């Protein structure tokens, strides 16, 4: 449970890094934060301009007054429900940090299921030519950029309807050294593209509209609604994407689609109605919670 009106006590001035972590961790623990120790370390490092190594090698280094005030502010915002990733401005995904913007979702571990499926498919395919990958609704770029970083010869195009989001993705591409092998375009999925692409990936909005207010406050309040809202049944954006795939997917190409929990059968039915073959034994991929998270389509 988050405490919206919590005000951190002014008690961190001249505290050591070690003390600041302990105090912040204890506050988070008492107030029901899910990962109090991790959140405390991350926020102390941010406020104190310290690395995780500093916490170990220089634990008695003191916070300045300004750093203490910043940490108190961050603590209050975290207790009000603001996600740590929003406070930091970045989120780790597949071992890399991706910077965020107001219009980008915070990358989630569930989406790493798509990366695993994509890499496994490309490895099994064993093509001698570098793959060309299309990411529909690129967001922060975490999916496309991760694949390009893992596949040094690959080229990718990321499409998004938001120019602000595309700027974030471009910046992340530069940071992770794949800018020369990526292109970011403003548009509505694949409508203006010709292809063909060896692989198409998509993580569209798939939350049922009336379920959004019931989500954790970290998601319902602090994530962009446009990136969450999948319509009344959660499948509106998937319905828009699926008809576009035939025209841009390479023969024998692969389409990987992230979906919400409990949507596998309905999404598979949409794909079959569009002329795609789906084999649940090989084309469904589950996340760590054992929910079917990704569906694969082979052209």
- Taking only the tens place, the pLDDT of each residue in 99-154 is 999 999 999 999 999 999 999 999 988 777 899 999 999 999 999 999 999 999 99
Evaluate whether 110 touches 263 at the Cβ level (below 8 Å): no
C-alpha span between 156 and 135 (Å, rounded): 8
**What are the boundaries of each domain within the chain?**
17-81, 90-298
Report which DSSP code applies to 62. Answer: B
In this predicted structure, what is the pLDDT of residue 4? 45
Q: What does the CA dihedral 175, 180, 185, 190 come to, rounded to 10 degrees?
A: -110
* pLDDT band (50, 70, 90) for residue 12: confident
pLDDT greater than 60 at residue 258: yes
- Taking only the tens place, the pLDDT of each residue in 156-214 is 999 999 999 999 999 999 999 999 999 999 999 998 788 799 999 999 999 999 999 99
Question: Which structure tokens are listed for 83?
Answer: 């996600």
Work out the average pLDDT over 270-291. 95
Classify domain 90-298 by CATH number.
3.40.50.150
Q: Is the dihedral of CA 97, 99, 102, 105 positive or negative?
A: negative
| Percent of the chain predicted with pLDDT > 70 | 96
In this predicted structure, what is the pLDDT of residue 299? 83
pLDDT greater than 50 at residue 288: yes
Strand partners, 98: 91
| Percent of the chain predicted with pLDDT > 90 | 88
* Residues ≥6 apart with Cβ < 8 Å to 80: 2, 3, 4, 6
pLDDT greater than 80 at residue 16: yes
pTM above threshold 0.85: yes
Evaluate whether 85 touches 106 at the Cβ level (below 8 Å): yes
In this predicted structure, what is the pLDDT of residue 10? 46
- Taking only the tens place, the pLDDT of each residue in 50-82 is 999 999 999 999 999 999 999 999 999 999 999
Q: What's the mean per-residue pLDDT of the chain?
A: 93
Residue 102: count other Cβ atoms within 10 Å of its Cβ. 12
Say which residue the tokens 């995780």 belong to. 52
């Amino acid at each position: 449970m988050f405490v919206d009106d919590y005000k951190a006590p002014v008690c961190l001035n001249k505290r050591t890094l070690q003390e600041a972590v302990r105090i912040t961790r204890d506050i988070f623990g008492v107030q029901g934060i899910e990962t109090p120790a991790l959140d405390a370390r991350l926020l102390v490092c941010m406020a104190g301009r310290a690395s995780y190594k500093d916490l170990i090698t220089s634990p008695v280094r003191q916070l300045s007054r300004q750093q203490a005030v910043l940490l108190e502010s961050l603590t209050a915002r975290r207790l009000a429900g603001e996600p740590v990733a929003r406070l930091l401005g970045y989120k780790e995904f597949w071992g890399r940090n991706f910077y965020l913007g107001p219009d980008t979702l915070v990358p989630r571990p569930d989406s790493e299921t798509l990366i695993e499926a994509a890499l496994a498919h490309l490895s099994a395919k064993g093509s001698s030519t570098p793959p060309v990958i299309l990411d529909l609704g690129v967001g922060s770029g975490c999916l496309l950029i991760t694949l390009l970083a893992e596949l040094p010869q690959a080229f990718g195009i990321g499409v998004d309807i938001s120019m602000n989001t595309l700027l974030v993705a471009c910046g992340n591409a530069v940071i992770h050294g794949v800018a020369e092998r990526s292109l970011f375009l403003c548009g509505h999925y694949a409508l203006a593209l010709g292809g063909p692409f060896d692989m198409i990936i998509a993580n569209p909005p798939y939350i049922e509209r009336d379920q959004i207010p019931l989500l954790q406050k970290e998601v319902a309040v602090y994530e962009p609604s446009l990136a969450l809202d999948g319509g009344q049944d959660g499948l509106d954006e998937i319905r828009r994407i699926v008809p576009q795939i035939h025209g841009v997917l390479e023969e024998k190409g692969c389409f990987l689609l992230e979906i919400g929990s409990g949507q596998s059968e309905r999404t598979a039915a949409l794909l079959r109605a569009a002329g795609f073959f789906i084999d649940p034994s090989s084309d469904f991929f589950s996340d760590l919670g054992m929910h079917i998270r990704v569906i694969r389509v082979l052209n």
